[in-house]
Amino acid sequence: MTNIETSIDKTVKFNFSEGYSSVLIPLNDKKTLCLSSQIGCPMKCGFCISGKRTFERNLTLDELKEQLTEAIKYLKLIDIKSKENKNEKNYLAENITSIVFMGMGEPLLNLKTVLEFCDYVNEFYGYSYSKILISTSGIISKMEEVINNPNKIQLAISLHSTNQQVRDKMMPASNCHKISELIKTCNYYNEKYRQKIMIEYLMIKGLNDSDEDLQGILDLNLAKRTNFNLIPLNGSFELEGKIYESSTKETMSHFRNELMKAGYKCFTRTSMGADIEAACGMIK
Ligand code: SF4
């Protein structure tokens, strides 16, 4: 049984009875499908509601497929054909611009199944691997596995701070990964891929949005055209007894302008589906 909620901004959330959700996000006339990979998340990032829930298990391949099937049914894509039928248009790619593993869970902790799913959508729907993106909190050995995979699946990494102490507090389960090692892995991706890695940076007022923080990002010396995705914090987040909120629009624009001036691609993510708890970091 799937329960469907629709946001005032037309974002759609599919809630599956086993306890996970997927989200269909409208982008003009195209859509992004955001999938969950686990029930709960063992990474327990402090700012994320999914991480507050007890980790139960990895999702199975059938459960990943079910998230796609529900979106296909919702969009009424009755004409989808497998790639054996070369004369038919690829209706899936025309209607779902990208499939991203950014929902509940750390996809790299369920990598074998996630990769099997990528093979399935490629083989069955002719959906290009390069339109699939796996977003990780930064598990280096698994990132390397994705980079070394012959099918060029995109990677995004949640950086959120270039200050090791601050990052370790925000993402306690990631504290075994040093920022310098993560950046080496990003550089490895950038050398192997035509399109550069996506760096996600959650912007939190007074925690990671100062000019010093901006300089810290510039000092990483990532390859030009690396993609930065600046994300406003949804709601608030408590760290060591202090309540933090999102950076202001002005600060976010300042970061964006400076990163673009330095030769990077940068966009600020609009918070979609907040009223139905479908926005980034809000999936329970
Ligand atoms: S941000 Fe991602 S990795 Fe961190 S707890 Fe939430 S779902 Fe897990």
Domain ranges (residues) in the chain: 2-276
Q: Of 32, 92, 2, 18, whose CA–CA distance to 60 is shortest?
A: 18
Residue 279: what pLDDT? 56
> Using a 6 Å cutoff on CB, does residue 50 contact ligand 1?
yes
> Using a 6 Å cutoff on CB, does residue 109 contact ligand 1?
no
Total-model pTM: 0.93
3-state SS string for the chain: CEEEEECCCCCEEEEECCCEEEEEEEECCEEEEECCCEECCCCCCCCCHHHHCCCCEECCHHHHHHHHHHHHHHHCCCCCCCCCCCCCCCHHHHHEEEEEECCCCCHHHHHHHHHHHHHHHHHHHCCCHHHEEEEECCCHHHHHHHHHCCCCCEEEEECCCCCHHHHHHHCHHHCCCCHHHHHHHHHHHHHHCCCCCEEEEEEECCCCCCHHHHHHHHCCCCCCCCEEEEEECCCCEEECCEEECECCHHHHHHHHHHHHHCCCEEEECCCCCHHHCCCCCCCC
Q: Tell me the CA–centroid distance for residue 269 and ligand 1, in Å.
A: 17
Q: Give the side-chain half-sphere CA count within 13 A for 116.
A: 12
φ/ψ of 209, rounded to 5, equals: -120, 25
Which residue among 23, 45, 104 is best mutated to probe the pocket of ligand 1, counting the most ligand atoms within 8 A of its Cβ? 45
Distance, in Å, from the CA atom of 125 to the CA atom of 201, rounded to the nearest integer, reads 32
Residue 284: what pLDDT? 61
Looking from the CA of residue 135, the nearest atom of ligand 1 is 2
Which residue among 137, 158, 175, 200 is best mutated to probe the pocket of ligand 1, counting the most ligand atoms within 8 A of its Cβ? 137
Q: Give the side-chain half-sphere CA count within 13 A for 114.
A: 32
Query: What residue type is 119 in one-letter code?
Result: D
Residue 277: what pLDDT? 65
2-276: CATH topology is: TIM Barrel (3.20.20)
Q: Of 27, 21, 101, 106, whose CA–CA distance to 270 is shortest?
A: 27
pLDDT digits (tens, 9 = 90+) for 203-229: 999 999 999 999 999 999 999 999 999
> Using a 6 Å cutoff on CB, does residue 40 contact ligand 1?
no
Q: Tell me the CA–centroid distance for residue 230 and ligand 1, in Å.
A: 16
> Using a 6 Å cutoff on CB, does residue 104 contact ligand 1?
yes
Residue 77: what pLDDT? 79
Residue 82: what pLDDT? 52
- List, for the chain, all residue ranges whose pLDDT scores fall below the cut of 50: 87
Query: What residue type is 160 in one-letter code?
Result: H
Measuring from atom 3 of ligand 1, which residue has the nearest CA? 106
> Using a 6 Å cutoff on CB, does residue 115 contact ligand 1?
no
> Using a 6 Å cutoff on CB, does residue 51 contact ligand 1?
yes
Residue 87: what pLDDT? 47
